[in-house]
Amino acid sequence: MFFAQYKNEIRRSIFSSAFIVVISIIFLVLSIAHPILFRWNNTRNINRRYGGYYYSGMGVDTISIDGISIGYDNPFYWEISSLTEEITRITTSGDYADLSSSAKELMIKYLNLELDYYREAAKVATDYMDFRVQIAYSGSNFLNKVFYYEHFSDPDIEAVAKQRLPIDLAQTAKMTEEERMEELAELSGALEDCRKIFTSDTNAAFGSYIKVRRYIEQVSIRDWNKEIDRLAEELIKNPGRSVEIESQINGMRTSIEVAETVNLPEISYREANKIIPNDGSWQNAALESMVQNQQSFTYTVPAKEAEYLSSPYMMENFDSYSAYLRSIERQRSGFHELVLIAKASLDAGTPDMSFDRMGSRAVSFGYASGWIGFAIIFSVMVGSWSVANEFQAGTIRLLLVRPKTRNKILAAKYLSALSTAIGIFLASCIVNMLVSGIVFGFADFGNPNFTVTGPASFFSKYFALLAANLAILAMFFNVSFFLSTATKNIAASIVVPIVGYIGGNILNAYFAYRTINATLKSLMPYMPFMYFNFTGFFETSPYSAIGQMVSRGIEVSLAKGVTVHLAIAAVALGLSFLIFNKQDITS
């Protein structure tokens, strides 16, 4: 009997409402368009992710090099145009006026050298994502040093170096002729390797990339070691500065540790597995994630208690030194987890979802998490419309004179509208999944996601997200359903929850990175606005807003969020029935 009334509601209330039908269609269209647009947008933007954009429409002229036209979206465009201008200004506008004419000539010679270098680079590395770009910039450091050593005997070099070359003149003055020649030979070799990268032959360029990067790490390690030795001597001379010097030494030791345990192994891994930087492959993404989190792990070390006590910032954010230590430990384990995931994924040879943004898993997961806001608004609209519509249209008088108790009538209305709101969202998720499979391949759904405890099916994560999202939808739906019953006004019961949703998101953003007192800190995890989007709970990154909050002692969690939403939903539903049952139909 009850099911008959549910069917009656679905058929003659829900399906007959043009408003609900139109929004449902929009939702379904969205779920189909999402993967398609995602793919289209990605191919369109892949080459324009950095730079470029900002200058479009500024009307800058393109530059022609050997018949190749260089536009403002070329990573070296600004170097080339500013160097060209600099050279012109020396002769026409009298820049570098304090230089002698011979020094000016030497300066022009250097600037031309640099210009030629960038022109070579610009011809080959044409977009910001090209792995050659990073090396080309490093190469310019070698270039000025090589120029300096080559012209060491030139009386004008010092004047030019002071103005334009980043050289520590005091230090080079102490070097012997032999040391200088050694340095020159080494730098010239590195510069040669950098130049070798200016070839469209990716394999050859990649070989040079590995060589140069390894060289840079090794030189860095050597320089830091030298500096540590120097600081150690200074420490003996100035024991009074021990805190400052020791902290400097520790910093350099950490840098050496990172170079030796993270960067050099990364370079070797790239070399062995031929993982080209920024090539869009999942392996590169995994490797970058691993490197970044390993670095964060190494650099995230707790401050000493004395340091903690002398920092008002830290004191404000943590209740005690031990709380601070716990928080740092949490961050470190977060970073460590991400390293393990990347490593497991690379070892297994299958991408974790997070490394394959253009995969069916990531796209469908992104849809289910990213469009929850739209689903919330939709469910608020359906919930608000459901009962208030009967009052506003006056049909409630004809509805409630039937041989059905108000409880039954309201239950049928509630369930039909709720199942519509939730059903449309779930249906759109399924459609989206199918279309993602068609666009990006169904095989990706079979790939596991990696966790600290081992690989897990994608669907366990996906369905957990959907279930959590249903709790959000049920909360918003029930609140608007309650308002619909209490206010009998559609507009009011739509506006209030949506203002709450927007306001809650603002509050969430406000508290995510803000120092708050202990009371707020303990209350915050029970505030519904902390959980208007659960996506963050499915990412382990300590850098995420959730990660930041948790590390500062705001103990938000997925379980708490779902519980808070379901509790509010239950109260709202109970009140709806209470009010609906008791009220006199005066309208």
Partner 1 sequence: MFMVHFTCWALLGKFIVMWKKATMELLKIEGVTKRIKKKTIIDNINMQINEGEIVGFLGPNGAGKTTTIKMVVGLFSITSGEIYICGHSIKTDYESAMANVGSIIENPDLYKRLTGRGNLEYFAAMHSPEAMENIGSVAQLVHMEGHLDEKLKTFSLGMRQRIGVAQALLHMPRLLVLDEPTNGLDPKGIKELRDLLKSLAKNSNVGVLVSSHLLSEMELLADRYYIIDKGVIVEEISVDDINSGGEHTKEFHLETDDNGAAAKKLTDLGFEAQVAEDGLSVICLVSRDDVPRAISGLVSGGVGIFSAVQGKESLEEKYINITKDSEI
Write down the least CB distance from residue 420 to partner 1, Å. 15
DSSP for 219-240 reads HHHHHHHHHHHHHHHHHHH-GG
Q: Does 230 bind partner 1 (CB under 8 A)?
A: no
Closer Cβ to partner 1, 247 or 581, answer by number? 581
| Helices 101-124 & 131-150 angle (0-180, nearest 10) | 160
From the list 44, 174, 237, 582, which residue makes contact with partner 1 (rule: CB under 8 A)? 582
Asked if residue 367 lies in contact with residue 427, where contact means CB atoms within 8 angstroms, the answer is no
Part of the chain binding partner 1 (CB under 8 A), chosen from 10-18, 284-292, 294-302, 496-504: 10-18
Say which amino acid occupies 533. Answer: N
Residues whose CB is less than 8 angstroms from the CB of residue 42 and which lie 6 or more positions away in sequence, other chains included: 357, 358
- Could you give the CA distance from residue 481 to residue 388 in angstroms, rounded to a whole number? 9
Long-range contacts of 536-539 (CB under 8 A, 24+ apart): 537/468, 537/561, 538/365, 538/369, 538/461, 538/464, 538/465, 539/354
Structure tokens at 517: 């007192």
Count CA within 13 A, CB hemisphere, residue 215.
19
Say which amino acid occupies 529. Answer: F
Write down the least CB distance from residue 21 to partner 1, Å. 10
- Could you give the CA distance from residue 108 to residue 91 in angstroms, rounded to a whole number? 9
The residues with which 65 forms a beta bridge, in sequence order, are 68
Contact string 524-563 vs partner 1 (x = CB under 8 A): ----------------------------------------
Asked if residue 166 lies in contact with residue 141, where contact means CB atoms within 8 angstroms, the answer is yes
Asked if residue 481 lies in contact with residue 575, where contact means CB atoms within 8 angstroms, the answer is no
Asked if residue 275 lies in contact with residue 284, where contact means CB atoms within 8 angstroms, the answer is yes
Contact string 279-318 vs partner 1 (x = CB under 8 A): ----------------------------------------
Asked if residue 379 lies in contact with residue 425, where contact means CB atoms within 8 angstroms, the answer is yes
Part of the chain binding partner 1 (CB under 8 A), chosen from 133-141, 187-195, 387-395, 464-472: 387-395
Closer Cβ to partner 1, 352 or 390, answer by number? 390
Residues whose CB is less than 8 angstroms from the CB of residue 195 and which lie 6 or more positions away in sequence, other chains included: 117, 120, 139
Residues whose CB is less than 8 angstroms from the CB of residue 267 and which lie 6 or more positions away in sequence, other chains included: 210, 213, 214, 217
Write down the least CB distance from residue 27 to partner 1, Å. 20
Part of the chain binding partner 1 (CB under 8 A), chosen from 2-10, 26-34, 251-259, 378-386: 2-10
From the list 4, 301, 309, 491, which residue makes contact with partner 1 (rule: CB under 8 A)? 4
- What is residue 69's three-state secondary structure? strand
Closer Cβ to partner 1, 16 or 460, answer by number? 16
Asked if residue 125 lies in contact with residue 75, where contact means CB atoms within 8 angstroms, the answer is yes
Any idea what DSSP says for residue 303?
P
Write down the least CB distance from residue 486 to partner 1, Å. 17
Write down the least CB distance from residue 393 to partner 1, Å. 6
Closer Cβ to partner 1, 5 or 294, answer by number? 5
Closer Cβ to partner 1, 343 or 406, answer by number? 406
| Closest-CA residue to 305 (of 289, 320, 327) | 320
Write down the least CB distance from residue 10 to partner 1, Å. 11
Structure tokens at 492: 């009011």
Part of the chain binding partner 1 (CB under 8 A), chosen from 80-88, 183-191, 246-254, 389-397: 389-397
- Could you give the CA distance from residue 305 to residue 325 in angstroms, rounded to a whole number? 9
Asked if residue 526 lies in contact with residue 366, where contact means CB atoms within 8 angstroms, the answer is no
Say which amino acid occupies 102. Answer: S
Closer Cβ to partner 1, 311 or 405, answer by number? 405
Q: Does 18 bind partner 1 (CB under 8 A)?
A: yes
Write down the least CB distance from residue 458 to partner 1, Å. 42
- Could you give the CA distance from residue 45 to residue 277 in angstroms, rounded to a whole number? 18
Closer Cβ to partner 1, 12 or 514, answer by number? 12
- Could you give the CA distance from residue 137 to residue 48 in angstroms, rounded to a whole number? 19
Write down the least CB distance from residue 452 to partner 1, Å. 54
Closer Cβ to partner 1, 49 or 402, answer by number? 402
Q: How many residues bind partner 1 (CB under 8 A)?
A: 24
Closer Cβ to partner 1, 238 or 405, answer by number? 405
Structure tokens at 145: 């040093």
Write down the least CB distance from residue 385 to partner 1, Å. 11
Write down the least CB distance from residue 382 to partner 1, Å. 15
Q: Does 43 bind partner 1 (CB under 8 A)?
A: no
- Could you give the CA distance from residue 280 to residue 285 in angstroms, rounded to a whole number? 7
Closer Cβ to partner 1, 12 or 162, answer by number? 12
Asked if residue 202 lies in contact with residue 274, where contact means CB atoms within 8 angstroms, the answer is no
Write down the least CB distance from residue 575 to partner 1, Å. 18
Q: Does 579 bind partner 1 (CB under 8 A)?
A: no
Closer Cβ to partner 1, 18 or 97, answer by number? 18
Alpha carbon of residue 491 to chain centroid = 37
Q: Does 5 bind partner 1 (CB under 8 A)?
A: yes
Q: Does 90 bind partner 1 (CB under 8 A)?
A: no
Q: Which of residues 392-431 bind partner 1 (CB under 8 A)?
A: 393-395, 397-405
Q: Does 507 bind partner 1 (CB under 8 A)?
A: no
Q: Does 3 bind partner 1 (CB under 8 A)?
A: no
Taking only Cα atoms into account, the Rg of the chain, rounded to an integer number of angstroms, comes to 32
Write down the least CB distance from residue 414 to partner 1, Å. 16
Q: Does 12 bind partner 1 (CB under 8 A)?
A: yes
Part of the chain binding partner 1 (CB under 8 A), chosen from 15-23, 174-182, 212-220, 269-277: 15-23
Q: Which residues of this chain interact with partner 1, rule CB under 8 A?
A: 4-5, 7-8, 12-13, 16-18, 393-395, 397-405, 582, 584-585
